[in-house]
Amino acid sequence: VEASDDYLDEIPLMCGGSTIEMDENDQLMRERKNRYGRHKGIGYFLSEGWWDMCGSCWKKMFGCCCGEKEYRDRTIYIGLATGHQHKYTKNVVRNQKYSVITFIPKVLFEQFKFFLNLYFLVMATSQFIPAIRIGYLYTYWGPLCFVLFVTMCREAMDDYRRYRRDKEANSQIYKKLTRDGVVNVPSSNIKVGDLIIVEKNQRVPADMVLIRTTEKDGGCFIRTDQLDGETDWKLRLAVSTTQRLQTNADILDICGNIYAEKPQKAIHSFIGTFSRTDGTPCEDSLSIENTLWANTVVASGTALGAVIYTGRETRSVMNTSKPQSKTGLLDLEINTLTKLLFFAVIILSIVMMILKGFNGPWYRYLFRFILLFSYIIPISLRVNLDMGKAVYSWMIQRDKLIPGTTVRSSTIPEELGRITYLLSDKTGTLTQNEMVFKKLHLGTVAYTAETMDEVSAHLRTVYNQQQSGGGTTPTRQSGPVRRTVVTKVYEAVKAIALCHNVTPVYEDVEDGGDRSHETEADQQIQQKVTYQASSPDEVALVAWTEDVNLTLVKRDLSSITLRNPLGALMKYQILQVFPFTSESKRMGIIVKEEESGEILFYMKGADVVMQQIVQYNDWLEEECGNMAREGLRTLVVAKKVLTEEQYQDFESRYHQAKMSIQDRNVKMQAVIESLERDLELLCLTGVEDKLQDGVRPTLELLKNAGIKVWMLTGDKMETATCIAKSSKLVSRTQDIYTFNKVTDRTEAHLELNALRRKNDAALIIMGDSLQICLKYYEHEFVELACQCPAVVVCRCSPTQKAEIVKLLRVHTGKRTSAIGDGGNDVSMIQAANAGIGIVGKEGKQASLAADFSITQFSHIGRLLMVHGRNSYKRSASLSQFVIHRGLIITVMQAVFVSVFYFASIALFPGFLMIGYATIYTMYPVFSLVLDKDVSAAIAMTYPELYKELTKVQILPGTNRLVTERLTKGRSLSFKTFFMWVLISIYQGGIIMYGALLLFEEEFIHVVSITFTSLILTELLMVALTIRTWHYLMIVAEIFSLGIYIASLYVLKDYFDTKFLQTWDFVWKVLVITSVSCIPLYVLKYLRKKFSPPVYSKLAP
């Protein structure tokens, strides 16, 4: 134990099987999880506790009435087989938030969970009671109904778009195989047990087992980019029993059944069996290789599948979160401030009631006081903020420097200005997912893109000698050094061309000619070829061998065919393949050359494992480091020549290990390792994964802005690590801590302790290890990870991505953003405070589900630094000014009531109050949405300005790991709020007391003086608040002043027009307005001179 106060080291490790120790551990874990939720108190209840309580009660009631959905395994009968078929969920895609019945209740519930709207509802409803009515009904119900109407229209439009997208997906037509032939059915009518034909480039409508395919080798490729984010095609194999049938229709004449495990989220695993009971009974084991998951796309041939899961039981839907209504932090903060203002109204009303005396129906007077002071919370606040959000969204979409940007959720643009954590996908987001072969190193010589012609020349030399009978060794005229290099190049390129899992896919080129006389190889020359593999690295390597004229022509399950530089075909029989795994970090293949009968064992993998396998050398480690510094992904290639006796001995032992029931994988790996000894090192390859344009400077910009970037990817650890380095997410001088694989609590504990001892190290962790850590040490892991400058999570499922986002939100209380471009990123995007989707090669699913859609990653810099920052600062300024507008009128009302013997009567008529909040001051106040403190260029040049906006939060009851006290850069905080309260008290008091001191014989003169002074004060305060003038601001000021002056002569019931034309009116208004405003102008000047804001020092 390093430190006695470190709670991680205080946790007892589970070294034995003691029940007592287990109970103590569970108790400590429960206490840790509850530690941060004990002191929520009344603040938490008022802010969000009551809402959580209502939601919890609703879920329990719904669960009791409807019951929980229980998933179960199933048997699907094929052909003539019969049995009891259970009723399963419908194959319907539904992303809507509302139905026709639930729309109004849900929208109203979402709106009235905010204290602001609930407060106005109570105030408006009270006006139906004659005894406490103080104005016309329309003055209360009109604004409230307008706010609700605008909200409902916006929600209805958004949900209608979702409905149209769902309808399009549900109405897609598929071919269904029946006894009456092939019939067309819409996707929504597909049921479990149906036999569905999926054409090439068609989306798979439900989870299916691949029964047959038109491909000769019984396999077909699928694209899974919308499921797991990987753009590489995956090979799927048809059930061998049904693939051997002559036609699809023959399936209807057999007796078979498919056993499928119960639905689950795991997209990379499946357990099932196919059994045939007629004729000779047989049984095939089914795995992930035999499945077609929903939302994948068939990329080659035509597939026939048996549906096993539909609707919400499919892997795709189970890994997708339901859309949630998002509320911005600014809205929550304003909601908290409105609660404070409500308490102020209650206290002020009680004070007035005490001073008045509890005589007569005091409770009626108390409620009238509350109504009189209700203007302290102006309902126009909600209207102004919603209109402001619409303007910000319009500005974002009109920005020519980030073309194609779309705002799909116009309610949270301010969230872009408060982001602390950005969680990013890798494939298609940070990278283009285009691998390019960059370097071949042979130990004594290296070849780059500029010298690849030499490689091609060396290959041609070797094959010319082979054709002339000279073997593989060059002639002596080349000299010994030349001969050695040529041989090394030949062996290296041949190894790269054979050691892979790549399959060439051909597409016919329509030339209209008769090609019946051509051989298969000649036809393939005329066809367009694309390479497909489980990794883009593999494709890049094989594409490079084609560039140097050693071409992969054909590959199936048993053979590989190459074409050499002279055009001759070379055939190799595949004897064994050892696939790449994250544990082994290498792949191998044993092939037999048909012409010579030579048996070759090739292997390639990561340098960390291959160094222990290959023969001693003095260059591999150094060159691997050099390539890594260049941002290249390295693979070490080696070979071993086997005799027939050696292979037969290996094959016998390997088959015996495969048939073992106990520890099968361990025994198989042990046999393989017996072969992996003293391999000859052939070469080192370097492949570059192209980054998206502008990724490096954008990540640097985000770091300087105080935003921590986490990369969540479903890719391998080696790939993710390389991209983290090449993108500068992890700097060259930064240490990297690779979290070792953990399987239980003890291992997780030890790894977390090791991580805690690392300072300023980037963290790289696998998804399964992350799951163990979160199961036992959720808070500790998040705390340690948040201290890392960068975090990379590999092999991360879509559900895990969403869970990580939610954990950061809960444990840190900070605002999160998630960005991705694939269907596997949808859950993460929806879980974040601000979800950003990229329209890319993987389709538009992420873009459509996101709050904001951009066309490339580099646009996020301007989206956050400029638009996010401006949106937040403008809304903060606007909301505080609208609150000030309500506060000042409430202060004036309080002074008026106290002077006139605490009579509960209104100072201004209802029509003037509506005019005050609308036509007289609305335009100048709303023009604050055009204000800005710095130019866009400065905001991008100095991202540190953004950091000031994310320092604290003021929400009560929020759990945080670290609380910072700095609030200088915040535009909305308790400090700025109370400053505006003091300004309102001062100005309201000055205006009201000034008018009463200069009071004459007519009360209408008091109304004229106070209301005119109030309007002028508000217009001058807007001018005082503005930092950068826009011509529309000047227009708004002049227009509002002109409207007010004109209305003085129109509203003769409220103003004495003769008095308005006297100097007595003019000088009193000027004096009162000057006293209320000039001191504030002086304070602003002094503050700017002696304590200027940071941005003023950067202004050009």
Query: Which position has the token pair 């189970």?
Result: 318
968 is in an annotated binding site: no
Residue 501 to residue 176: CA distance in whole angstroms? 33
714 is in an annotated binding site: yes
**Six-digit token string for 896:** 């008026």
425 is in an annotated binding site: yes
Is 556 catalytic? The answer is no
Neighbour tally for 787: CB within 10 Å:
17
Burial (CB count within 10 angstroms: exposed 0-12, middle 13-18, buried 19+), residue 181: exposed
For the packed helices 798-812 and 767-776, what is the interaxial angle rounded to 10 degrees? 40
Which of 425, 537, 689, 851 is the catalytic position? 425
713 is in an annotated binding site: yes
708 is in an annotated binding site: no
427 is in an annotated binding site: yes
- Computed from CA positions of residues 1009, 1014, 1017, 1023, in that sequence, does the dihedral angle turn out positive or negative? negative
- Is the backbone of residue 301 left (phi > 0), alpha (psi -120 to 50) or beta? left
388 is in an annotated binding site: no
Residue 888 to residue 917: CA distance in whole angstroms? 12
Instruction: List the beta bridge partners of residue 552.
Output: 562
Residue 970 to residue 947: CA distance in whole angstroms? 10
- DSSP character for 299? -
Q: Where are the beta strands (DSSP E) in 549-614?
A: 551-555, 559-563, 569-578, 586-593, 599-605
253 is in an annotated binding site: no
Burial (CB count within 10 angstroms: exposed 0-12, middle 13-18, buried 19+), residue 112: middle
580 is in an annotated binding site: yes
**Beta strands at 852-854 and 834-838: parallel, antiparallel or unpaired:** parallel
Query: Which position has the token pair 């048909």?
Result: 594
Q: What share of the chain is helix, strand, coil (3-state, %, to 5)?
A: 50, 20, 30
Distances (CA, A) of 178 to 182, 197, 931: 6, 11, 67
874 is in an annotated binding site: no
In the Cβ-directed half-sphere of 241, how many Cα atoms lie within 13 Å? 22
Burial (CB count within 10 angstroms: exposed 0-12, middle 13-18, buried 19+), residue 560: buried
**Beta strands at 181-186 and 173-178: parallel, antiparallel or unpaired:** antiparallel
801 is in an annotated binding site: yes
Taking each continuous run of H as one helix and of E as one strand, the counts in the chain are 40, 33
* 794 CA to centre of own chain: 15
921 is in an annotated binding site: no
Helix (H) or strand (E) holding 923: helix 922-926
**Beta strands at 761-766 and 735-738: parallel, antiparallel or unpaired:** parallel
Which of 201, 211, 267 is closest to 233 using CA atoms?
201
538 is in an annotated binding site: yes
9 is in an annotated binding site: no
217 is in an annotated binding site: no
For Cα atoms 428, 430, 435, give the angle at the middle one, nearest 5 degrees: 65
CB-based contacts of 818-821 (< 8 A; 24+ apart in sequence): 818/422, 818/423, 818/424, 819/422, 819/423, 819/424, 819/425, 819/429, 819/857, 819/860, 820/229, 820/424, 820/425, 820/428, 820/429, 820/846, 821/425, 821/428, 821/429, 821/846, 821/847
Q: Which residues are catalytic?
A: 425
Residues annotated as binding site?
425-427, 538, 580, 604, 633, 713-715, 795, 801, 821, 824-825
Residues annotated as binding site for ATP?
425-427, 538, 580, 604, 633, 713-715, 795, 801, 824-825
Residues annotated as binding site for Mg(2+)?
425, 427, 821, 825
